[in-house]
Amino acid sequence: MNFGQAIEELKKGSHIARSSWSGKGLSVHFVPANSYPAQTGAAAEHYGEGVTGPDKPYLAIKNADGNVSTWTPGSDDALAEDWIVSDGE
């Protein structure tokens, strides 16, 4: 599927990946907007005690080592036609 179709799958809660990715376990997922109190002392010092911080929606990738980080597609990803729905494992 193309990237537009893959984005629609993300919005439904699916994980996606490219069939050409060689890393086992790579998958992208959508993290919706959220709001939560500052979780660390540094955040509380910066934002103020008891302040709720908004978190905008973003894409995250589960890497082959199991770690998760934010992800921004490159032009090769955005133009690819080999996107698949992944089980996220």
pLDDT tens-digit map of 39-88:
677 767 777 766 666 678 999 999 988 899 999 999 999 999 999 999 87
Residue 89 has pLDDT above 70, yes or no: no
Res 36: pLDDT: 67
Would you list the domain boundaries of the chain?
3-86
Asked if 1 contacts 40 with a C-beta cutoff of 8 angstroms, the reply is: no
In angstroms, the CA 89 to CA 75 distance is: 25
Res 34: pLDDT: 79
In angstroms, the CA 19 to CA 39 distance is: 37
Q: Tell me: the pLDDT tens digits for 14-31?
A: 999 999 997 778 999 999
Sorting pLDDT into bands at 50, 70 and 90, what band is 38?
low
Tell me if the pTM is above 0.95.
Answer: no
Res 24: pLDDT: 76
Closest CA to 29 of 48, 50, 7: 7
In angstroms, the CA 35 to CA 29 distance is: 19
